[in-house]
Structure 1
Amino acid sequence: MKTIAIIPARGGSKRIEGKNIQLLGEFPLIAHSILYAQKNSEIIDDIYVSTDDAEIKKTALQFGAKVIDRPVSISGDLEPTVSALKHALQMIGPDVENVVLLQATNPFRPQNLLREAFEKYKKEDADSLFTISRNHQKFGKIVNNKFQPFNYTFGQRSQDLEPLFFENGLLYISKVSLIQKDIIISENAIPFEVDHIFAHVDIDAPEDLEYAAFIYNKIDGKK
């Protein structure tokens, strides 16, 4: 039974035109996730891009991924990611056990992340795993025009905050049987903590792309 990577990448981005094929460093955005999957060939048997866009398809094929043509009916702004995964699996066939979901909008991942995460996923015989990072900010709400702290009290030091975490989107691993139930992360999913600057790169707006380019150039300059 196979472990495959699926990279959902629809067209029609509103904030960044042609977002998934915008250059980030020397490669189109989507290529970073394809190349990462290729570097983990000891785990990933095949790499698929699910898209409704001809230019994304062309780029994905150029970088060695297989392409699943996603129907327009499941390519809208409000369509959940699991719809693309389910459709891709229907097209691929029955010999897949695990899906590694790589989001094109999270282009950078620590080199050993997938290997370490997959080892834990297999060791604990989990049905799903997702990456998280600790938050170190002080949050609150505004109620009746007054600020109410949420995860701290006024005057409390940041280092004394109760640990809170966010889903950083770097990678997800799920059993096919779970995805077929319209679920990517189950209640029993393993949270895999990542303490890395890459966890804060998530491209949605133009300023996110600028930040990602800054990080890429900074890291590339150290090689």
Structure 2
Amino acid sequence: MKTIAIIPARGNSKRLPNKNLLLLGGIPLLVHSILFAQKNPSIIDEIYVTTDNAAIKNIALQYGVTVIDRPDAFSGDLEPTISSVQHVLETITHAVDTVVLLQPTNPLRPENLLQEAYVRFCMNDADSLVTVTRNHQKLGKIINNSFEPYNYTIGQRSQDLEPLYFENGLLYITKAKVILEGKIVSENSIPYEVNHIFANVDIDTLDDFDYAEYLINKASRLRSTRQL
């Protein structure tokens, strides 16, 4: 049985046009997820990009991955990711056991993330794994034009907050059967905590993109310094 990576990369983006094609660190945004998958051949047997865009398709093919042409019905602004991922599984002809979902909008990932998360997934009787990061902010709601604390009391120190976590989108590991049922994160899911600066990168706007570029440039400078 196979473990495949699926990278959903549609062409139309409202807030940041053509974001999957923008050059980040000298390569298209989409390619960061492709290279991450290719660095894990002991886990990932095949890599699929699902897209409705000819330019994205051409780039993916240049990097040697299989492209699934996404129907217009699964390419709208309001269409959930699960639709395109299901379509990939329904299109390929051989059996798949597990899917690693890599969103191109999360291009920066710790180097050993997949190996470590996959071991955790295999060691547990779970149908899916989701990467999460602890939140350290004081959150609240605005009700009737008044701010009401949600996860703290006024005067409470931030280090004393009850632990809350957010879904960071770095990667998902899910049994294929669960995806075919219409879910990426199932009820029988386990979290994998990632407290890394890359967990705060999710590109939807130009500011998000600029922040990711800053982190890449900073990492490049550090590598250059160590080589001197």
Which category describes the TM-score, using the shorter chain as reference length?
Answer: over 0.9
TM-score when normalising by structure 1: 0.98
Q: Distance in 1 between matches of 2:148 and 2:6?
A: 41
1:1-47 Cα offsets, whole Å, 9 max, x none, are: 00000000001111112110100011100000000000011100011
Q: Distance in 2 between matches of 1:148 and 1:125?
A: 39
2:210 is equivalent to residue 210 of structure 1: yes
1:196 matched to which residue of 2? 196
2:41 matched to which residue of 1? 41
C-alpha deviation, 1:94, in angstroms: 3.3
Q: Distance in 2 between matches of 1:23 and 1:187?
A: 37
Match of 2:222, SS state, is: coil
C-alpha deviation, 1:154, in angstroms: 0.7
1:109-143 Cα offsets, whole Å, 9 max, x none, are: 10111001101111113210010000000011112
Unpaired segments ≥5 residues, structure 2: 224-228
**What percent of counterpart residues are identical?**
62
C-alpha deviation, 1:68, in angstroms: 0.4
2:186 matched to which residue of 1? 186
2:124 is equivalent to residue 124 of structure 1: yes
1:59-86 Cα offsets, whole Å, 9 max, x none, are: 1111221100000111111111111111
2:115 matched to which residue of 1? 115
Q: Distance in 2 between matches of 1:150 and 1:219?
A: 36
Pairing 1:40-119 to 2, within 5 Å after superposition: 40-119=40-119
Q: Distance in 2 between matches of 1:45 and 1:95?
A: 12
**Code of the aligned partner of 2:160:** D
**Code of the aligned partner of 1:180:** L
Q: CA RMSD in A?
A: 0.8
TM-score when normalising by structure 2: 0.96
Higher mean displacement: 130-139 or 90-99: 90-99
Unpaired segments ≥5 residues, structure 1: none
1:176 matched to which residue of 2? 176
Moved over 2 A (4+): none
Match of 1:191, SS state, is: strand
Match of 2:40, SS state, is: coil
**Code of the aligned partner of 1:10:** R
1:152-199 Cα offsets, whole Å, 9 max, x none, are: 011100000000000000000000100010011011100100010000
C-alpha deviation, 1:212, in angstroms: 0.5
Q: Distance in 2 between matches of 1:154 and 1:203?
A: 33
